[in-house]
């Protein structure tokens, strides 16, 4: 039996995996299947080399090594994870720098209500391999170091407060963070082939200085959360400290919404859905479980107000794909002429009518050639 057919049958027959739950509009029946995009087919590439649906346009926001338009701030190399914060009638887009040797960090671009750039500045520097991260409900950005025994840094998008190293959140090869205000925890992914899925429960919600780091464990009784004995990860790495910890192959992006934390794993090209309310886990997308899979090299993930998920590719054919609440996955955009890069930093502005993302290594495949874009158009509402 062909592996894809076998896996599809296995998922369909397993109530532990193929559950549905309520999102914005209706229940999802996992896993997502290839289908037509709600935005229609992609059109020929625009002047920026981006194939978009009809009535959508793109513009370049920043280029690595160059001053952001109208400012004297030089945009960082290797732009990676990002998110937007409301700023009065405008907003701020923050972006990580996935650079090694202490050259990493985070920068921010500020926009007014008309999407005009009004400022750009650094909010973290001197760190290493800042890959993804996550926003908090109290308007800070958790920037994660994707390096052995890396840290999480809590940063101020406005640049007024000094970034703080959050030791209590554990030292491991961090990738992304997703805050769950309902259970007052932060979920964390780990970019290792035998990585784990964690959650951090702060002693006081809103204060990341102290708390308990836990790992998801799978046993005969189902899923449970078990405390990590030594969050410092030395001499034994956190992922090897708890017997039965569920293994995930290369944890990447994470996004929380309505009781569910969606997160991705690049080693098996999956999007997972952890139903926190019912403590259950599902495969929301697997490239082996649909014909002509549009999404491979899964990476950063975000969501739109309508309930759609947007997943960026590290590899594949340089697409950002959309997964709809009615369980259809399709390309939303495709970047051409940049095959040695990866797409990352997907994030909507507060109004949900502008999507930001970066091509980490641009047209040359070098970290010094990153490009950050904005896409505008009739996003579903």
C-beta of residue 283 within 8 angstroms of C-beta of residue 17 = yes
pLDDT given for residue 248 in this prediction: 98
Mean pLDDT on 281-301: 96
What kind and span of H or E run contains 57? strand 57-63
Closest CA to 301 of 92, 57, 93, 132: 132
**Banded model confidence at residue 2, pLDDT cuts 50, 70, 90:** very low
Mean pLDDT on 344-354: 98
Q: Are strands 33-34 and 328-335 parallel, antiparallel or unpaired?
A: parallel
pLDDT in tens, 49-74: 999 999 999 999 999 999 999 999 99
Strands (E), 181-250: 185-190, 197-204, 207-219, 222-227
C-beta of residue 198 within 8 angstroms of C-beta of residue 215 = yes
Mean pLDDT on 178-201: 98
Mean pLDDT on 318-337: 97
**Banded model confidence at residue 190, pLDDT cuts 50, 70, 90:** very high
Per-residue pLDDT at 10 exceeds 60: no
pTM (predicted TM-score): 0.93
C-beta of residue 210 within 8 angstroms of C-beta of residue 156 = no
pLDDT given for residue 315 in this prediction: 87
Per-residue pLDDT at 25 exceeds 50: no
Mean pLDDT on 69-86: 98
The residue assigned the tokens 């996003």 is: 379
Per-residue pLDDT at 114 exceeds 70: yes
| Count helices and strands in the chain by DSSP H and E runs | 1, 27
pLDDT given for residue 6 in this prediction: 35
Cα atoms found within 13 Å of the Cα of residue 182, Cβ hemisphere only: 10
pLDDT given for residue 346 in this prediction: 98
Question: Which of 20 and 339 is assigned the larger pLDDT?
Answer: 339
Mean pLDDT of the chain: 93
DSSP letters for 106-132: EEEEEE-TT--EEEEEEEEEEES-EEE
Percent of the chain with pLDDT over 70: 93
Q: Are strands 141-145 and 152-155 parallel, antiparallel or unpaired?
A: antiparallel
Distance between CA atoms of 179 and 318, rounded to whole angstroms? 28
pLDDT given for residue 30 in this prediction: 86
Percent of the chain with pLDDT over 90: 91
pLDDT given for residue 18 in this prediction: 30
Distance between CA atoms of 358 and 67, rounded to whole angstroms? 16
Per-residue pLDDT at 265 exceeds 60: yes
């Amino acid at each position: 039996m062909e592996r894809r057919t076998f896996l599809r049958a296995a998922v369909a027959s397993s109530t532990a995996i193929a559950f549905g739950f309520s999102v914005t509009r209706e229940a999802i029946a996992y896993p997502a299947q290839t289908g037509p995009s709600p935005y229609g087919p992609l059109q020929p590439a625009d002047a920026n080399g981006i194939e978009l649906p009809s009535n959508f346009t793109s513009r370049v926001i920043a280029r690595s090594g160059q001053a952001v338009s109208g400012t004297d701030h030089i945009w960082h190399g290797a732009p990676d994870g990002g998110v937007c914060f409301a700023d009065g009638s405008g907003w701020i887009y923050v972006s990580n720098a996935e650079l090694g040797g202490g050259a990493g960090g985070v920068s921010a671009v500020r926009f007014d209500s008309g999407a005009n750039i009004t400022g750009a500045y650094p909010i973290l520097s001197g760190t290493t391999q800042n890959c993804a991260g996550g926003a908090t409900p109290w308007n800070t950005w958790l920037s994660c170091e994707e390096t052995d025994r890396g840290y999480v840094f809590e940063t101020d998008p406005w640049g007024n407060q000094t970034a703080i190293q959050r030791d209590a959140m554990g030292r491991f090869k961090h990738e992304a963070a997703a805050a769950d205000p309902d259970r007052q925890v932060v979920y964390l992914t780990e970019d290792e082939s035998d990585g784990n899925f964690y959650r951090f429960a702060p002693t006081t919600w809103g204060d990341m200085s102290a708390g308990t780091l836990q790992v998801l464990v799978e046993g005969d009784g189902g899923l449970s959360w078990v405390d990590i004995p030594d969050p410092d990860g030395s001499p034994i790495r956190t992922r090897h400290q708890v017997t039965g910890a569920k293994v995930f192959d290369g944890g990447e992006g994470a996004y929380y919404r309505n009781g569910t934390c969606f997160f991705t794993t690049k080693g098996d090209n999956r999007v997972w859905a952890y139903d926190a309310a019912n403590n259950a886990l599902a495969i929301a997308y697997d490239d082996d479980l649909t014909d002509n899979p549009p999404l491979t090299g899964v990476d950063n993930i975000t969501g739109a107000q309508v309930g759609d998920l947007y997943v960026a590719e590290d590899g594949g054919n340089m697409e950002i794909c959309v997964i709809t609440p009615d369980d259809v996955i399709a390309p939303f955009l495709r970047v051409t002429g940049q095959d040695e890069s990866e797409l990352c930093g997907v994030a909507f502005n507060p109004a949900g009518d502008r999507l930001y993302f970066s091509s980490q290594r641009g047209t040359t495949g070098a970290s010094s050639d990153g490009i950050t874009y904005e896409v505008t158009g009739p996003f579903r509402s």
